[in-house]
Amino acid sequence: MTTRDVPSNDRARAGSDRNVHALHIDVAERGKMLALKGRHADALERYREALRMARAVQAPQLFARHYLHCVLESLEHMGSHDQAAALAGEAARAGATEAGAPESDAQTPTPFQRRDRAYLLERQGMNQLKAGDVSAARVTLVAALTLDEALPLTRVVLDWTARGLSVNASRLIEAQRKYGYFIVRRDAVDPARARDPQRFTAELLHG
């Protein structure tokens, strides 16, 4: 899930659906620019604001999920592994219904829901591993792989830990980069869209 999955804007004016979604997308892009500079605390503020704005306009669930992954990623970079693992785990447990399935279908998740929960469990497991809880990480990563077999990073890490190999931070980060675990990357961010709420509030007021 990336911002390429959401509609692009051509400076649509206030009142249009496109403009409504452009606002929270632009705030999230600003957060990503800050994250790339290592300013993760500031990035978290923007991501959370983007989440609030997306929910306020009842944006499709894809937006909220993407912003949540951005939050989790910054927490991980900050070393807040327990917090990231707890948040990812909570989201994964709620994942069966958050993607919009009727309550009666909660026990038979759609393929999208299964992938969504798998990605969240993968993040939870990686943070558990970085926090030093290898046993919990393995349980979580096995659960992720059960939901979605196409998780190469999870397979690699499970293989390493099964063989009793040491998985230090640098080795794990190298593997995460290799397998595209990180979604906030320079090649996936649009600097032209990165704006703070104050800037486009003024634009809406003054045109």
| First-to-final CA distance of the chain | 32
Q: Is 9 exposed, middle or buried (0-12, 13-18, 19+ CB in 10 A)?
A: middle
49 in Cβ contact with 27 (< 8 Å)? yes
Which residues neighbour 2 within 8 Å (Cβ) at sequence distance 6 or greater?
66, 183, 188
- SS3 call for 204: helix
Which pTM was predicted? 0.81
Cα–Cα distance for residue pair 111/89, rounded to 1 Å: 19
Q: Digits of tens for pLDDT over the chain (207 positions)?
A: 433 344 333 333 333 455 677 889 999 999 999 999 999 999 999 999 999 999 999 999 899 999 999 999 999 999 999 999 999 999 999 865 554 444 444 567 788 889 999 999 999 999 999 999 999 999 999 999 999 999 999 999 999 999 999 899 999 999 999 999 999 999 888 777 766 655 544 444 344
Q: Give residue 173's pLDDT.
A: 96
162 in Cβ contact with 171 (< 8 Å)? no
